[in-house]
Amino acid sequence: MNLFYVPEISAESREITLSEDESKHACRVLRLRTGDKVILLDGRGGTYTAEIIEDHPKHCTLHILDYQFEEMPAKEIHVAIAPTKNNERIEWFLEKATELGITEVTLLLCGNSERKQIKEDRFEKILVSAMKQSQRKYLPKLHPLTPFKTFISEHPKGALAHCYDGEKSLLQDVFQASGYPLLIGPEGDFTPEEVALAQQSGYDSISLGKNRLRTETAGLYACMIAVMH
């Protein structure tokens, strides 16, 4: 059955009307009609089986038939990453990381950041689309563009991937299941001052292998390691 994201739905809902965009997609693109059944996701663990009772392309209305709930994954995977200069690359990361199981993402504003503005609405749509495609029950939490120092003060420990010399750990050896964000810098890497600040706060410097990876590749690779360990 076709999937739709309806964040305002709840376990108490008996009827729900899709947003105009989702209504248009359901009735004009997919050509669904009254009596057709669909799956609704609230992005908070809830899955709803529903039947269309009004197939209007601007306000498609459905009757809720069934509700099921899935507990939040015990493992938190929070990646804080500097948006890339090429917007398509960070969008690719958001899509693939959602499919893999990321639970939270923060966009970092760093000293060497080349992109200092983002379109949160577009990024949110990418997360929603990837959640639906991968049939995940939880929508990853997206945080706005956050200055590096602010993030460190709010999250005093975690893992920092950088390209400077020095002792580093493997992510799989230090990863913790909660309260342990994974920080990925911009194309020009974190500044030495940012690395020092994070280390002083309690961050582990980590290696992601011998090869130098692009920002979005490093973010996805770190996400994969966290998923598997």
Q: How far are the Cα atoms of 16, 105, 113, 134, 216 from residue 108, in angstroms, in the given order?
A: 36, 9, 8, 26, 13
28 & 98 share domain: no
Give the number of domains in the chain. 2
CATH number, residue 42: 2.40.240.20
pLDDT at residue 104, as a whole number: 97
Single-letter residue type at 50: A
Q: What is the DSSP string of 179-214?
A: S--EEE--TT---HHHHHHHHHHTPEEEE--SSPPP
pLDDT at residue 73, as a whole number: 87
49 & 99 share domain: no
List the domain range (segments joined by +) for residue 29: 3-69
Does residue 102 register a pLDDT over 90? yes
For 31-57, how does the pLDDT look when each residue is reduced to its tens digit (9 = 90+)? Answer: 999 999 999 999 999 999 999 999 999
For 188-206, how does the pLDDT look when each residue is reduced to its tens digit (9 = 90+)? Answer: 999 999 999 999 999 999 9
Per-residue pLDDT, averaged over 173-188, amounts to 94
In this prediction, residue 142 has a pLDDT band, given cuts at 50, 70 and 90, of very high
pLDDT at residue 210, as a whole number: 86
The pTM (predicted TM-score) of the whole model is 0.92
Q: State both tokens at 184.
A: 């990925």
